[in-house]
Amino acid sequence: MFSQRRLLILSIIMACIAIAPLAAMLIAEFVSSQLNCIVNERSDVPCTLFGTDITMLLASFYVGGWASFVTLPLAGGCAAILYLKYLDKKLINDAS
């Protein structure tokens, strides 16, 4: 159905989708700690970077982290299945 290369690329894309919300939340945590800001879902403390207020962007990244409860199992499971199919095809082709 899919070639080996396509299965590998799809599994990598799905893995990236699975960890993207978690990575965004970690980036927001790192940026807010470097700028000495307090950013969470319920309070707005101004956080400026190069004269621009990025509080809402960081808050959106924090809230987006909750999406990892959905993306990790679903996209992560798809990535695992696709990678297992890739390994299966690779073993079949190597045995031939």
Please state the domain count of the chain.
1
| pLDDT at residue 76, as a whole number | 93
| pLDDT at residue 71, as a whole number | 92
| pLDDT at residue 17, as a whole number | 94
Residue 61, CA distances (Å) to 1, 2, 44, 86 in order? 37, 35, 14, 33
| pLDDT at residue 92, as a whole number | 82
| Distance (Å, whole) CA 51 – CA 31 | 15
| pLDDT at residue 53, as a whole number | 85
Residue 65, CA distances (Å) to 3, 20, 48, 58 in order? 33, 9, 21, 11
Positions of the chain with pLDDT lower than 70, given as ranges: 43-44, 96
Expressed as residue numbers, the domain containing 80 is 4-95
First CA to last CA distance, the chain: 18
| pLDDT at residue 39, as a whole number | 80
17 and 75 Cβ atoms separated by less than 8 Å: yes
| pLDDT at residue 84, as a whole number | 93
